[in-house]
Homo-oligomer: A and B are copies of this chain.
Amino acid sequence: MLTKTELSNYCNEAREKYLPHISIDCVVFGFHEGMLKVLLLETKNQEEYYLPGGFLQKVEPIENAANRILKERTGLDDIFLKQFYVFGDPDRSKEHFDLYKEMLPENENWFANRFLTIGYYALVDFFDVDPTPDQFSISCNWVDLNQLPKLGLDHANIINTALGTLRVQLNYQPIGYNLMPKLFTMPELQKLYETILDKKLDRRNFQRRMLGFGILTKAEETRKGGAHKAPYLYSFDMENYKAALTAGLKGGW
C-alpha cells in the first residue's frame, strides 16, 4: 500500500511531467493453448486488476507514450501497437479518485481529476515476451479473456472494445503475424481465428483460403511430439503478407 508521502510525491512528480486529464491504456493480446489472453497488472494498493496504462509526457507523441508506458509497466518492448478508441465518460475515473481522496486534499491529488484514456491494443507472440510487473504492481500476468477477474475503472469495457476492433480488423491488420510464434501449424492458426471470431471454421476451407493468400511459407519440418499425425509447420512470408494486407484480405468469414 502506498503511504501518504509516497502518493504525495508521485502526484507532484506527475503534475510536473505529464499532461493532466489524459491517460493511455494498453490491451495486450496473446494467444496460448487455444485461448486469447490479455496482460493484466495487479496493483499493490487494491485487490483489483488493471490494464497496463500511464500518462502522456508534456511533449511526447502519443505513439511513443504508448510504447514507453507498455515498456515501463510490463517490460514489453518494440511490439505492434495500434490506437483504437478514446474513452471519455466523465465518471470513468471517479473510482480512482475515490480511492485516494482520503489521503490527499483535492488540489494536491493528481487523480482527483477527470481522465480521458486513449486505448491501444497490442498483439504479441505469447512465447516471445516475459511480462514483468513494475514497482506499483504485485504481478503482471496473462489472463484468459473468458475468465477475466474484477477489473478497475472501465477496463472491462476497454477490453471488450479492443476485442471488437480486433474482429473487424482481422482482414486488414497483420493480426495473425503478430500473435503467432515464428513457426506454427495450420490448425494452430485456425484456432486463433476461431477464437477471435468466436466461430468454428471448416478445416479444409480455412487451409485453402489461407494458402490462397500466398502469405505463408511451408517449412520442411513437422511438429513432432503430438499424439497424432504430425502437422506441417508454417511461417509468414512478410513481403507478401504486408502487400496482401494493404490491399485488404477480401471477403469476410
Contact = CB atoms under 8 A, between A and B. Distances in A.
Contacts of A58: 114
14 contacts: A20-B21, A21-B21, A21-B22, A22-B22, A56-B88, A58-B114, A59-B114, A61-B88, A62-B86, A86-B86, A168-B172, A250-B251, A251-B251, A251-B252
Contacts of A62: 86, 88, 116
Contacts of A22: 21-22, 116
A89 interface: yes
A244 to B, nearest CB: 13
A90 B90 CA distance: 24
A248 interface: yes
A89 to B, nearest CB: 6
A118 B85 CA distance: 10
A106 interface: no
Contacts of A251: 250-252
Interface in A54-93: 56, 58-62, 83, 85-86, 88-90
Interface residues of A, number: 25
A210 interface: no
A86 B118 contact: yes
A99 interface: no
Given A172-B168, A250-B251, A251-B251, A90 B116 contact: no
Contact of A250 (B56, B61, B252): B252
A68 to B, nearest CB: 14
Interface in A20-70: 20-22, 56, 58-62
Most chain B CB within 10 A, of A19, A20, A56, A58, is at A19
A85 B88 contact: no
